[in-house]
């Protein structure tokens, strides 16, 4: 096999597809990328047996064949100058050569026959504008759990209706919901629990494909997201996702309007002192919000901003990283914060209810 490709094109494709490789597997070949140059078409593929990515590569085939490129091939290509890169492999040999300009590398590799068969790319899906899918995946996915002991919470609930796209995620400490109006959705609603890790790749595959639409296929066990000729396939999570509608309070004792950028800057500064187990305190009193944090090892910090509040003082504590992630996910200049009491969750919203971010408080001492 021998193929040639522009360095930037090859580097971008290897990096994007390589995100589906596994660094923890006991099957070494899964940590690498399959390069196929067959039937006049070049394709890169990777999988960790949970998600898989396949993308075409704009390359010249000088001799057809296939080889599994080692993970470090992406780093090598990225470091090369602006040149044409040639990849060559002789059938049955355990090395592949990567050359470009005055650089030449000989790397150990796996045979294509060792690479597992990828899930079939089947089924007709729902075509949606890429923008709301990417935005929802990015803003909602941050609230998904990273703890594999509760698989259901590592996923994002995706619901597609004839006029709406809804994504929901929670790690039991916070909950993010986003609903976008769409056109051309299915007559009957589709719903699935998609791994957050898979949805995190949507932006990259859209960029790689250079398209403004995505096609989503949801079956009983598998999800497929197509962007142009780039395909992401993922196993769906089996389990009952919490009923998020019952978790969001219908009303709040206090509905506060804040300058989002100002609050984000204040929380970011105070976060320097708020360690993992140290809450950031938000005290509301007459015309003022005071944000503070205290660390026995580092010290304390306090900063105030004006707010339209004229009731009995109330103080509530939050995990600073969760709070900051919620503020960053709000669109626009205005942030609305709903509060009931120091022991009830707070709700962050923008000027509309398209995105909602529910955050559990931390009990404050002293």
Please give, one letter per residue, the 3-state secondary structure of the chain: CEEEEEHHHHHHHHHHHHCCCCCCCCCHHHHCEEEEEECCEEEEEEECCCEEEEEECCCEEEECEEEEECCHHHHHHHHCCCCEEEEECCCCCCEEEEEECCEEEEEECECHHHCCCCCCCCCCCEEEEHHHHHHHHHHHHCCCCCCCCCHHHHEEEEEECCCEEEEEEECCCEEEEEEEECCCCCCCCEEEEEEHHHHCCHHHHHHHHCCCEEEEEECCCEEEEEECCEEEEEECCCCCCCCHHHHCCCCCCEEEEEEHHHHHHHHHHHCCCCCCCCCEEEEEECCEEEEEEEECCCEEEEEEEECCCCCCCEEEEECHHHHHHHHHHCCCCEEEEEECCCCCCEEEECCCCCEEEEECCECCCC
Considering the domain architecture, whether residues 97 and 183 belong to the same structural domain is answered as: no
Q: Would 119 be classed as within a structural domain?
A: no
Task: Using the 3D structure, point to which of 89, 114, 139 is the last residue of a domain.
Answer: 114
Considering the domain architecture, whether residues 50 and 95 belong to the same structural domain is answered as: yes
Q: In 197-208, which positions are buried (b, 16+ CB within 10 angstroms) versus exposed (e)?
A: bbbbbbbbbbeb
Backbone angles phi, psi at 356, to 5 degrees: -130, 140
| CATH number of the domain enclosing 222 | 3.10.150.10
Residue identified by tokens 């506060």 is 256
Res. 273 pLDDT band, cuts 50 70 90: confident
pLDDT digits 0-9 by tens, 54-102: 999 999 999 999 999 998 999 999 999 899 999 999 988 999 999 999 9
Residue identified by tokens 């995505």 is 214
Q: Would 366 be classed as within a structural domain?
A: no
Considering the domain architecture, whether residues 235 and 295 belong to the same structural domain is answered as: no
Considering the domain architecture, whether residues 218 and 130 belong to the same structural domain is answered as: yes
Number of domains within the chain: 3
Considering the domain architecture, whether residues 252 and 237 belong to the same structural domain is answered as: no
User: Token pair of 282, please?
Assistant: 């938000």
Considering the domain architecture, whether residues 130 and 234 belong to the same structural domain is answered as: yes
Considering the domain architecture, whether residues 298 and 328 belong to the same structural domain is answered as: yes
Whole-number Å distance between alpha carbons of 156 and 158 = 6
Q: Would 331 be classed as within a structural domain?
A: yes
Considering the domain architecture, whether residues 354 and 281 belong to the same structural domain is answered as: yes
pLDDT digits 0-9 by tens, 253-272: 999 999 999 999 999 999 88
Res. 150 pLDDT band, cuts 50 70 90: very high
Q: What is the pLDDT of residue 317?
A: 96
Whole-number Å distance between alpha carbons of 355 and 129 = 18
Considering the domain architecture, whether residues 10 and 109 belong to the same structural domain is answered as: yes
Q: Would 365 be classed as within a structural domain?
A: no
Q: Would 221 be classed as within a structural domain?
A: yes
Q: Would 364 be classed as within a structural domain?
A: no
Task: Using the 3D structure, point to which of 199, 226, 244 is the last residue of a domain.
Answer: 244
Range of the domain at 303: 248-359
Q: Would 189 be classed as within a structural domain?
A: yes
Q: Would 222 be classed as within a structural domain?
A: yes
The reported pTM is 0.91
Q: What is the pLDDT of residue 278?
A: 82
Is pLDDT above 90 for 366? no
Q: What is the pLDDT of residue 276?
A: 67
Task: Using the 3D structure, point to which of 244, 264, 280 is the last residue of a domain.
Answer: 244
How far is Cα of residue 279 from the mean position of the Cα atoms in its chain?
26
Whole-number Å distance between alpha carbons of 104 and 83 = 12
């Amino acid at each position: 096999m021998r193929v040639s490709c522009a360095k930037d094109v090859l580097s971008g494709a290897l990096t994007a597809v390589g995100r589906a490789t596994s660094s923890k597997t006991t099957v070494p070949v899964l940590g690498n990328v399959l390069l196929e140059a067959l039937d006049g078409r070049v394709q890169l593929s990777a999988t960790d047996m949970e998600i898989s990515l396949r993308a075409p590569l704009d390359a010249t085939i000088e001799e057809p064949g296939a080889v599994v490129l080692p993970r470090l091939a992406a780093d090598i290509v990225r470091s090369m100058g602006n040149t044409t890169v040639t990849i060559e492999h002789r059938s049955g040999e355990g090395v592949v050569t990567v050359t470009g300009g005055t650089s030449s590398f000989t790397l150990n590799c796996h045979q294509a026959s060792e690479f597992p068969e990828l899930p079939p790319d089947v089924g007709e899906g729902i075509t949606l504008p890429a923008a709301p899918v990417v935005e929802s995946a990015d803003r909602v996915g941050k609230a998904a759990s990273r703890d594999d002991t509760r698989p259901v919470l590592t996923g994002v609930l995706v619901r597609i209706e004839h006029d709406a796209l809804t994504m929901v995620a929670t790690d039991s400490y916070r909950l993010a919901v986003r609903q976008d109006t769409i056109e051309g959705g299915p007559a009957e609603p589709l719903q699935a629990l998609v791994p957050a890790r898979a949805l995190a790749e949507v932006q990259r595959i859209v960029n790689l494909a250079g398209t403004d639409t995505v096609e989503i296929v949801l079956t009983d066990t598998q999800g497929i997201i197509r962007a142009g000729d780039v395909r992401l396939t993922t196993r769906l999570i089996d389990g009952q996702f919490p009923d998020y509608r019952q978790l969001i309070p219908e009303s709040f004792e206090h509905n506060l309007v804040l300058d989002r950028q100002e609050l984000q800057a204040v929380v970011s500064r105070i976060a320097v002192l708020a360690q993992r187990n140290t809450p950031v305190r938000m005290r509301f009193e007459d015309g003022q919000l005071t944000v503070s944090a205290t660390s026995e090892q580092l010290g304390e910090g306090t900063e105030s901003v004006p707010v339209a509040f004229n009731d009995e003082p109330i103080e509530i504590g939050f995990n600073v990283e969760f709070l900051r992630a919620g503020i960053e996910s709000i669109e626009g200049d205005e942030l609305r914060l709903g509060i009931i009491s120091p022991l009830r969750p707070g709700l962050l919203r923008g000027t509309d209810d398209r995105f909602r971010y529910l955050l559990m408080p931390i009990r404050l001492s002293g």
